[in-house]
Structure 1
Amino acid sequence: MSTFDTSAGGVPQAPAMRIDEAALRRYLAATLPDFPAAVDRLEVFQFSHGQSNPTYLVKAGATNYVLRKKPPGKVLPSAHAVEREYRVLAALQATPVPVPRVLCLCEDPAVLGTPFYVMEHVRGRIFTDPSLPGMPPQQRAAAYQAMAHTLAALHSVTPSEVGLDGYGKAGGYNRRQVWRWGRQYQQSVAAGQAMPEMLQLHKWLEANIPASDSDVAGTRISHGDFRLDNLVYSSTDPSRVLAVLDWELSTLGDPLADLAYNCLPYHLPSSIPTLASLPRPLPPGIPDEQQYIRQYCTAAGLQYPLQAHWSFYMALSIFRLASILAGVGARAAQGNASSSIASQVGSNAVVRSLAQKGLQLAGVPLPARQQPAVAATSTSGGGGGGGQQPPGGSSAAAAAGAVTLGLGPSPRVRQLLQKLHRFMRDHLYPAEPTLNAHAGTDRRWTVHPLQEQLKEEAKAQGLWNLWLPADMAVALQPLVQEACAGPAEMGLLLGPGLTNLEYSHCAEVMGRSVWAPECFNCSAPDTGNMEVLARYGTRDQQRAWLLPLLRGDIRSCFAMTEPNVASSDATNITASIRRQADAYVLNGRKWWASGASDPRCAVCIFMGKTDPTAATHAQQSMVLAPMNAPGITIVRPLPVFGFDDAPHGHSELRFDGVRVPAANMLLGEGRGFEIAQGRLGPGRLHHCMRLIGMGERALELIAQRSDERTAFKQKLWQHQSVRLDIARSRMELDAARLVVLDAAHALDMVGNKAARGKIAAAKAVTPSTVLAILDRAIQVHGAAGVSDVTPLAHMFAGARTLRLADGPDVVHLETIAKLELAGQRRARL
């Protein structure tokens, strides 16, 4: 049955849940003024719906009551607090929140064995299947809108105004929830039997609690288990919610955590029995997740789209559900569960499946189980003379994933790496001479058709948008779904949903050629700009710019650095963004706007000051400026050690009274630094990932050249100085790779902020390491190394520039030193 009629009664009481009907009658007769005195016997039935506190329909003649009580036996601390349910229901009686009228609370376990409360019986219907089968589309739409409006009504209540200011702590809700459900899960399992997936998800949640968690003013009443089957609807009008039930988990908390838990059916896999999930495609009339969130925001008076770490809230909801079900399973094992299917619902398989889903939403790789370590292949020669063998195998070592246990490529990435290496061998390397030659002609600021052909071939092989992390792909799914012709295109645009660690192995392969990243739609600055639009853009902004970028139809640039100030300190920027009516006017000079000279560059993210009088880090904003807007002038492309990187380019731009719609503002005025910090993690680490591939190719070229050339009657590799250069290059490159992989793994596990030290280390170590290897490769090649005969000179220019483009080395070293000193101080306390 997909609909439960509350007036239809319940089922006979389970033996373990049977209550003393005579004792209950005596208590009600003495407590309730309106209790029918002529009734000398009660009829008691148990509701089978739910696996929480046992709930009963109590019939006293023509009068019906509902009773909820704690389950018998040992229960987890703080769980099944019916006393709190009673308190919140009593407080909400005169508010817009529809709740049953509560009649009495009995905290004396001598009456029925455990505390209980009694409330009025609300006649209506409960929908147990979120797909609402058998209902017309317009009624489905009405039911979902009523649910969203009811949740918004709850969150509109100020706790202090209804006497609930002490119902929970103000602020810090998400941190407490992560701690509470982590502890409750541990108490539900035997010692040493905790699932690695649950432990890893809990660790990620601890490290990714939103900064807004400390916002006391935003604290509201949180239902904690708000879902469709906890609502009683009118029997005749699906747009009316008559009562919200099951307040066991209610407290003071974060409204978005409530909303995320309410959205679980959009994410739960259908393979888990008894858990409510929505089918794909959605039944007609049921809004998709973003449409539903918009309904809630409209009713709650919030900005849409939500500017929040949605993946955290969804992962927390999954973790909480998994912990609850683990407790249900534990009670079933003790024989005191309130549902006959509790052992099935709380099984290890169900809990593990949920934990894996939570990790997927968080973009975290599953715990390694059978992932063997792969030893690095030595490439240095021996210590003697002519009997030695030439060095080789450096590329094979890299392709095999020559890294330590836990940081190697996952099985799905191994398959991608094989395809990437094959693509580079069959298509990319053969195309390099043509693309290099085109870059030296007077038509170099046009796109060679071969570049577009390579992109189409990469799409055909499914090697597209590999950079897009899983949590972002999940968030973008509704947008992409409405714009795509079918599942194939949708899957292409959303990519495989790799973690940062997984993508690092792929980016290494792409870094072996300056032409490669664009072929897979994984080039800078587009990946960073797409991330900004995905995380901070409105839906209209995403439709206008993100979708074409995901398709590879356009390119973009980022304008922050200025010629007249030290832009490594972005508080120095002088460009202005001024509001005029329904528009913003941009003025300023920018340079090193990579990609601005590309004829396909259609949009620029412009950073300027909206309020120079605000706090230092609240003066700057970011706004989207179409490159064809009047007032934007490309002054010139700036060469990098003589390379102008056509048709991409690194341009100097002038913005003279550029007028853009006010709707082009990203996130809000004064939030430019917030966006920049969100952009600095994965996007900047991508450069380091690609640099490792550049170093690998340089090392290969050293080995090849040393075997091809003879000097002073010996092959170059037979000279000790060359062998030592090869040995040092291998050791340093493997060390740098581990630093980068460790930073990528930290990004997955703890997020940008907590991983900033490891990211800084990767940015400081990798360019310098690869520069040293490139320098050795150039030296081995002699004059050819500084010419266009090899890619080494171009690579050297790019690697040297990254010691500035990703922030000066000293900035990264300062970050590392401050964190290290702070850690040492904490250790001494």
Structure 2
Amino acid sequence: GKCRHPIDETALLRFCRARVPGFPRACASLDVDQFAHGQSNPTYKILALTRRGDVCGTYVVRKKPAGTLLKSAHAVEREYAVMRALRTTNVPTPDALALCEDARVLGEAFYVMSYVDGDIYLQPRMEECSERRRGAVYEKMARTLGTLHAVDPRAVGLGDFGKAERYGERQTERWAKQYEASVGPGVGVHAEESMMTLIAWLRSNAPAKEISGRLVHGDFRLDNLVLSRARSNGDDQVDVLAVLDWELSTLGAPYADVAFNCLPYYLPPGLELYPTLDPANLPRGVPDVGAYVCSWSRASGLPNPMTEGASTTWPFYIALSLFRGAAILAGVRARAMQGNASSANAHEMGQLVDVFARRALLVVKGANVPRGVNELAHRSETTSATAVGFEPSAKAASLLNKLKHFMHAHVYKAEEELEAHAITPERWSVSPAVESLKTAAKSAGLWNLWLPLDSAALLKIRPNDGEESTLFAGPGLTNLEYAHLAEVMGASVWASEAFNCSAPDTGNMEVLLRYGSVEQQERWLRPLLTGEIRSCFAMTEPAVASSDATNIESAIAREGSDYVLNGRKWWTSGACDPRCKVIIFMGKTAKDGSGVAKHRQQSMVLCPMDAPGVRVVRPLTVFGYDDAPHGHAEVTFTNVRVDAAASILLGEGRGFEIAQGRLGPGRLHHCMRLIGMGERALELASARAKSRVAFGKPLAENGAVLQRLGQCRVTLDGARLLTLQAAHELDARGIKLARGAVAACKVAAPAAALSVIDAAIQIHGGAGVSQDTPLARLYAGARTLRLADGPDEVHLETIAKMEIRRSKL
């Protein structure tokens, strides 16, 4: 026979003779013909032939495809197990005869089942049939699926066939991971924007409570049914002889199964490579989707998801089914790129990925999509107008996709636990959830994303045995590339630390990277890069206006081979953290009147947190938040001795220079995180406006609310553009020439974030200032950055002076 993926007929014959019950002794050879239908597991019709060439038996072999496979995909072993278990029920399946898990036989695992002869209709329109037969087939199909969902899995030995809880949520994550593995530079296919948007919607709308724990087929559709042959065109006496293709079967939510079964009603009519129905022009005898689901509901004994329960239930499962179909098609496309796909038209099937995703978004009628997952630079409706030239590079785009997935799969889900820990007496200890996130981020390749493009050249140390080099080098991004990632991280106040990208550590690590000696990098930078310790930066002082760094009064006095530090600092962020082991201390090595230039009097030294004389006086609060365990401390230094040679950074009198180099890029990171804060707030505000009813109508229909939401979008996009421009100039011209652009975004970004967060709070009402939303914490953080990033007045003065100089030219 014809086989696109030939198999070893001699080895198969040996196996059948030894393992297949009742295999005919007269069989001398096999005729193998691969079925053309089916895109996933290669399936073959096997004719057992006598020496004279007569057929003495007919079987079907189904095997895994060749090549590198996605984890958990193509599980023929599960197909075999479920068909064996269902033999004692009213669910019709082929007889599962023998399973071979020894890859030495045919190269991959396979099983042999009986051949069931009957009609298989590939198109749901069934145009070759009469009205009566169409109606009978659809009724039998609905009843068969309902019968499956009525089976008690424990009664047939399948009680542990899968996890029952959070099925919708877990399916979303499963197919998101499979999709992510099917795109990217390694595959040669870019991720579709529509798919990323759909993933975000599904994650935001997974049902909190769902009917689950039932046996689900996972791919139940008309062309997976073998039906009794029609005796005439009008024959309405129909039986389902066998349900095929159990590869995706598990324990789960039956609504997901019936939704997938109904996909032909929801796909755009006219697709050449996928069966569809036009609900506005159904063939006579084919029920509408409501009637079909009603038949299934009666057979299964379960509530009708289209008429009972939450209004989002049915749209969610339809969208999930379309997403799963798209993810499977992306996998087919990826295998085709490798030359492993089992279908001759696999490349064409891959083109439907975007079609499926867009259709799903249409089904959910444009329901809110978190902006943190759908940034400006990836939104086709705005990219050409506002972000040309500032789009993420291919490398950054790939990291963005991974980062978005991680935020939804891990960070957002951990927020509730982290918020709860932050108000307990144990809050000054590190929550286990934080370390868990860090471990997951390292495994995902999302560690030290902040490391600059030239970091590999600046690093004077090398990984120890057993340490991964990627933990040290990072992805090597430009400021513009990293800006896109920082925005996504900004959507959660807890996110940056998970990726080792939080202040003040990033700024301190950059100082050590650029100005630290080999010994300083070995002692302090290595454990900071690996996330073993944290650090703090002691510059601001309560006694002087520290926005002018030349005002600093803390002293660094040389005594022999030591420096002696004295002074009082505050807003020393991170000093309360039990993991904080090192302080970068800024003070004066030359006094006023010493003849040393004003900007050459400051120096920076490294000081161990446990050095005698260092005392954390108190944690400071930000609008009542103490930000434990990180904290913002007031710290005193009383005759603190440090080794001069080991602690001085770059040299005496270079502190102001280091500060300028540190605060430019580092605080640009703050600006992009502020945009992310604003996007999260706008997402929440939009969702609230749609769901909250006041004075008889949703807030989303209130003109004043719409005006404010529209203004939020304009404000955020403007601030984003300023920040991306500053990042670009920083890359192209350096901090000195980009100073004006950096100052502009430092004014615009916090103002934009505050305006949007304030609007979101107003739309939420009392909930906006409570612990039930992240808005209050976001507002506190954004408001602080109008000071921590340098006061607006300083930045505006810098910009104004540049304008005055330009006017003189």
TM-score bin, normalised by smaller chain: 0.5 to 0.7
Equivalent-residue separation in structure 2 for 1:531 and 1:812 (angstroms): 23
Q: 1:11-26 counterparts in 2 under 5 A? A: none
Q: Distance in 2 between matches of 1:725 and 1:575?
A: 47
* Rounded Cα–Cα distance in structure 1 between residues aligned with 2:556 and 2:457: 33
Pairing 1:522–2:504 present: no
Which residue, 462, 485, 491 being the options, matches 1:480? 462
Task: Note the C-alpha offset of 1:636.
Answer: 0.5
Residues 587 and 658 in structure 1, CA contact (< 8 A), matched pair in contact too:
yes
The reply on whether 1:669 has 2:652 as its aligned counterpart is: yes
Give per-residue Cα distances to partners, 1:743-768, cap 9 Å, x unaligned.
Answer: 00001000000000000001011101
- After superposition, the Cα gap between the structure-2 partners of 1:389 and 1:505, relative to the gap in structure 1 and judged at 3 Å, is closer
Q: Matched residue of 2:558: which SS?
A: strand
Partner of 1:650: 632
Give the whole-Å Cα distance in 2 for the aligned partners of 1:484 and 1:470: 24
Tell me the residue number matched to 1:616.
598
User: Does the CA contact (< 8 Å) of 2:618 and 2:635 recur in 1?
Assistant: yes
Structure-2 separation of matches of 1:462 and 1:493: 12
2:512 corresponding residue in structure 1: 533
The code of the aligned residue for 1:485 comes to G
Paired amino acid for 1:751: G
2:758 matches 1:780: no
User: For residues 484-540 of structure 1, what are the alpha-carbon distances to aligned partners after superposition, in whole Å with 9 as ceiling and x for unaligned?
Assistant: 536xx1123211000000000000000000000000000000000001111111110
Q: Residue 476 of structure 2 aligns to which amino acid in structure 1?
A: G
The aligned residue for residue 464 of structure 1 is: 447
For 1:696-735, what per-residue CA distance to the aligned partner results, in whole angstroms no more than 9, with x for missing partners?
1000001111111100000011101111111001111011
Aligned partner of 1:400: which letter? Answer: H
Give the Cα separation in 1 of the matches to 2:795 and 2:589. Answer: 28
- Does the CA-based 8 Å contact 1:611-1:619 persist in structure 2? yes
Equivalent position to 1:626, from 604, 608, 612 = 608
The CA distance in 2 between the partners of 1:518 and 1:398, in whole Å, is 24
Query: For 1:550-589, what per-residue CA distance to the aligned partner results, in whole angstroms no more than 9, with x for missing partners?
Result: 0011000000101111111111111101111111000010
User: Who is 1:793 aligned against?
Assistant: 776
1:555 aligns with 2:534: yes
Match of 1:818 in 2: 801
- Given residue 649 of structure 1, which amino acid in structure 2 is its aligned partner? G
Maintained 8 Å contact 1:777/1:792: yes
CA contact (8 A) 2:377 2:390 kept: no
Q: Distance in 2 between matches of 1:718 and 1:793?
A: 25
Moved more, 401-410 or 544-553: 401-410
CA 1:761–1:791 in structure 2 vs 1: closer, same or farther (change >3 Å)?
A: same
Judge conservation of contact 1:392–1:703 (CA < 8 Å) in 2.
Answer: no
Is 2:472 aligned against 1:498?
no
The one-letter code matched in structure 1 to 2:717 is D
SS at match of 1:436: helix
- Asked if 1:737 is matched to 2:720, the reply is yes
Matches within 5 A, 1:150-165: none
Aligned mates of 2:377, 2:391 — CA distance in 1: 11
Q: Residue type matched to 1:623 in 2?
A: V
1:435-474 to structure 2, matched below 5 A, reads 435-474=418-457
Q: Identify unmatched segments of 5+ residues in structure 1.
A: 1-387
Shift in Å, 1:411: 1.1
The AA in structure 1 aligned to 2:780 is A
Equivalent AA in structure 2 for residue 443 of structure 1: E
Contact 1:778–1:785, Cα closer than 8 Å, also in 2 = yes
3-state SS of the aligned residue for 1:407? Answer: coil
**What TM-score do the two structures reach when normalised by structure 1?**
0.52
Are 1:691 and 1:767, in contact at CA under 8 Å, matched by a contact in 2?
yes
Out of 413, 420, 429, the residue aligned to residue 403 of structure 2 is 420
- Name the CA distance, whole Å, in 1 between partners of 2:721 and 2:370: 19
Alignment CA distance shift 1:512-1:391 (3 Å): closer
Match of 1:252 in 2: none
Retained in 1: the 8 A contact 2:370–2:680? no
Letter in 1 for 2:454: D
Counterpart of 2:676, as a letter, is G
Deviations 1:159-211 (A, max 9, x none): xxxxxxxxxxxxxxxxxxxxxxxxxxxxxxxxxxxxxxxxxxxxxxxxxxxxx
Percent identity among equivalent residues? 61
Gaps of 5+ in 2: 1-364
SS in 1 for 2:427: coil
3-state DSSP class of the match of 1:635?
strand
Once the two structures are TM-superposed, the CA of residue 398 in structure 1 deviates from its matched residue by 3.6
1:586 aligned to 538, 548, 565, which one?
565
Structure-2 change in CA distance of 1:577 and 1:456 (3 Å): same
What is the aligned counterpart of 1:725 among 685, 693, 708? 708
| Matched residue, 1:206 | none
Contact 1:621–1:673 (8 Å) recurs in 2? yes
> Is the partner of 2:785 in helix, strand or coil?
helix
The amino acid that maps onto 1:532 is V
Change in 2 beyond 3 A, CA 1:534/1:389: closer
Contact kept, 8 Å, 2:471 with 2:529, in 1: the verdict is no
Q: Report the CA distance between 1:474 and its aligned residue.
A: 2.4
1:73 aligns with none
CA distance in 2, matches of 1:699, 1:471: 35
After superposition, residues 249-648 of structure 1 pair within 5 angstroms as 394-395=371-372, 396-398=374-376, 400=378, 402=383, 403-476=386-459, 478-481=460-463, 483-485=464-466, 489-612=468-591, 613=594, 614-648=596-630
Q: How many equivalent residue pairs? A: 435
| Per-residue deviation, residues 132-171 of structure 1 (Å, max 9, x unmatched) | xxxxxxxxxxxxxxxxxxxxxxxxxxxxxxxxxxxxxxxx
Shift of 1:629: 0.3
